């Protein structure tokens, strides 16, 4: 192992994690650190970050999958990037040890300031069968796997003479009624039904999606009237809602609900909650009971003067003491604020508290509809959907990437997508071999 510094007096900021928070923090540091004789090192297992708000559309074939991936090397200019896995952090020696991806080469580097932006994973509670048979939607590979799964189920249903089993094959169950859950339910139902038209033995109405939500309404962060509109729209599309309901068991071809109802389905998509990155358990930082990093108002990790945390992995609070939501827009703004704070600290000035006022929230519902609240104004239906697309198109980094996404959306308006598998689901739950060996539900 070696410890490399370009110059003994040069100060180094290391960022762990290249998601929204880490990437935008690094980009902002490139501007804020000019003239300060400091370098930035970004470490992530991947050389890209996924534009998460568009994952579902990529999975449904509306967008080309690679168009929702942002190259970190193109996104950044002067930042040093290492595609590597973090192994250890020594806060006393101010060092990070990592292993370069695809090799046995490990390296230890020193830091003057450390930024932790390791994101989150999908929370999988101890529901029997969930880890064996459930799907998640956190990465692009998850979205592609769900696309392959839908087409796989259509192919099996086309070849299945038993009506009960065919209905189970064509039934997706989505658990979690927040932003991701409602979009998955609406978009994948439309994708399912569009694709079914190419199967002579199937009808679009044979395809079904059930959305399960523990609370008494969808989209808890939004106002009740917008949530009610979202529920009405999804039901008009054909999504079956189960509110104030929980899944207590997941089987190969069923979901057992807490109220005694049993749903026959071969595909369960878990969109209920997040958990901190497991790597945090091995790092020497203060955490709350859920495992998230505890931070001061200026984004410093509690008790550590030169360690900071942003994004999903951190507990950062607003002026009213409420934790900032784990969303891309808050991670981006925390990253930009932290870049300014780090520049201030390097100049010998005090860091400033992070106060973020969200301009609003948007949710896509499928079939050219959505709900939104922007700066106090509410939108629903097509205007909200158009606003959703416009906002995220403008937030997409780089004009080249914006143009690619805009072209994909334009083509989708006039041409039917190609309903083919991308062959990325070989390691997903309930493989075809296992499905074919199971007796159909009765």
DSSP reduced 3-state for 433: helix
- Find the range with the poorest average confidence among 2-11, 43-52, 194-203, 412-421: 2-11
Q: Output the CA torsion 85→295→139→79 (10° steps).
A: -50
DSSP reduced 3-state for 189: helix
Strand bridging mode 113-116 / 307-309: parallel
Predicted local distance difference test score (pLDDT) of residue 405: 96
Same fold, 11-122+275-346 and 130-272+361-436: yes
Could you state, in order of their start, the residue ranges of all structural domains in the chain? Answer: 11-122+275-346, 130-272+361-436
Q: Is the pLDDT of residue 347 over 60?
A: yes
- Residues 286, 207: Cα–Cα separation, whole Å: 47
**Single pTM value for the model:** 0.90
Predicted local distance difference test score (pLDDT) of residue 441: 46
Please give the average per-residue pLDDT across 234-256, as a whole number: 96
Q: Is the pLDDT of residue 91 over 80?
A: yes
Predicted local distance difference test score (pLDDT) of residue 442: 41
28 exposure class (CB count in 10 Å sphere: 0-12, 13-18, 19+): buried
Please give the average per-residue pLDDT across 118-131, as a whole number: 94
Predicted local distance difference test score (pLDDT) of residue 300: 98
Q: Which option is the CATH number for 130-272+361-436: 3.40.640.10, 3.40.50.300, 3.50.50.100, 1.10.287.540?
A: 3.50.50.100
Name the CATH superfamily, with its identifier, for domain 11-122+275-346.
FAD/NAD(P)-binding domain (3.50.50.60)
Predicted local distance difference test score (pLDDT) of residue 295: 97
For 191, half-sphere exposure in the C-beta direction (CA atoms, 13 angstrom radius) is 32
Of the chain, the percentage scoring pLDDT greater than 90 comes to: 82
- Residues 308, 293: Cα–Cα separation, whole Å: 9
Q: How confident is the model at residue 7 (pLDDT cuts 50, 70, 90)?
A: very low
Please give the average per-residue pLDDT across 224-238, as a whole number: 94
Predicted local distance difference test score (pLDDT) of residue 429: 57
- Find the range with the poorest average confidence among 162-166, 240-244, 412-416, 437-441: 437-441
CB of 315 closer than 8 Å to CB of 292:
yes
User: In this predicted model, which residue has the larger pLDDT, 171 or 10?
Assistant: 171
Predicted local distance difference test score (pLDDT) of residue 376: 86
Q: How far is CA 19 from CA 158, 327, 345, in A?
A: 40, 11, 24
DSSP codes joined into one string, 83-149? EEEEEEEETTTTEEEEEETTSS-EEEEE-SEEEE---EEE---S-TTHHHHEEE-SSHHHHHHHHHH
- Find the range with the poorest average confidence among 137-141, 154-158, 334-338, 425-429: 425-429
Token couple for 27: 């980009």
| Averaged pLDDT of the chain | 91
Write out the H or E segment, with its range, that includes residue 171: strand 171-175
Q: Is the pLDDT of residue 8 over 50?
A: no
Predicted local distance difference test score (pLDDT) of residue 15: 98
Q: Is the pLDDT of residue 321 over 60?
A: yes
CB of 312 closer than 8 Å to CB of 334:
no
User: In this predicted model, which residue has the larger pLDDT, 8 or 410?
Assistant: 410
């Amino acid at each position: 192992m070696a410890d490399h510094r370009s110059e003994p007096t040069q100060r180094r900021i290391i960022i762990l994690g290249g998601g929204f928070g880490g990437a935008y923090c690094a980009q902002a540091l490139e501007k804020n650190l000019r003239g300060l004789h400091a370098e930035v090192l970004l470490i992530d297992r991947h050389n890209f970050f996924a534009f998460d708000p568009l994952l579902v559309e990529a999975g449904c074939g509306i967008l080309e999958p690679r168009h929702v991936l942002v190259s970190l090397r193109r996104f950044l200019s002067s930042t040093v990037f290492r595609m590597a896995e973090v192994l250890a952090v020594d806060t006393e020696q101010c060092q990070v040890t990592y292993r370069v991806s695809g090799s046995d080469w490990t390296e230890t580097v020193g830091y003057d300031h450390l930024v932790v932006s390791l994101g989150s994973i999908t929370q999988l509670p101890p529901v029997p069968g969930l880890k064996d048979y459930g799907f998640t939607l956190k990465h692009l590979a998850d979205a592609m796997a769900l696309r392959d799964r839908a087409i796989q189920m259509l192919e099996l249903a086309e070849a299945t003479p038993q009506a009960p089993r065919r209905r189970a094959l064509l039934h997706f169950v989505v658990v979690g009624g927040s932003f991701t859950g409602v979009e998955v339910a609406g978009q994948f139902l439309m994708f399912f039904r569009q694709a079914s038209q190419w199967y002579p033995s199937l009808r679009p109405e044979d395809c079904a999606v059930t959305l399960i939500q523990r609370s008494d309404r969808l989209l808890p962060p939004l106002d009740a009237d917008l949530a009610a509109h979202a529920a009405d729209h999804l039901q008009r599309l054909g999504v079956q809602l189960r509110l104030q309901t929980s899944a207590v068991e997941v089987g190969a071809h069923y979901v057992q609900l807490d109220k005694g109802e049993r749903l026959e389905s071969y595909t369960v998509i878990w969109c209920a909650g997040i958990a901190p990155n497991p790597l945090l358990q091995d790092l020497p930082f203060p955490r709350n009971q859920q495992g998230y990093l505890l931070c001061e108002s200026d984004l410093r990790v509690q008790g550590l003067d030169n360690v900071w945390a942003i994004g999903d992995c951190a507990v950062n609070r607003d002026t009213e003491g409420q934790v900032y939501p784990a969303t891309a827009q808050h991670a981006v703004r925390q990253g930009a604020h932290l870049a300014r704070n780090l520049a201030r600290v390097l100049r010998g000035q005090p860091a400033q508290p992070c106060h973020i006022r969200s301009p609003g929230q948007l949710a896509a519902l499928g079939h050219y509809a959505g709900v939104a609240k922007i700066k106090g104004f509410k939108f629903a239906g097509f205007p909200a959907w158009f606003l959703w697309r416009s906002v995220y198109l403008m937030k997409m980094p780089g004009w080249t990437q914006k143009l690619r996404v805009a072209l994909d959306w334009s083509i989708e308006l006039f041409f039917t997508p190609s309903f083919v598998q991308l062959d990325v689901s070989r390691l997903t739950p309930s493989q075809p071999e296992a499905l074919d060996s199971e007796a159909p539900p009765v």
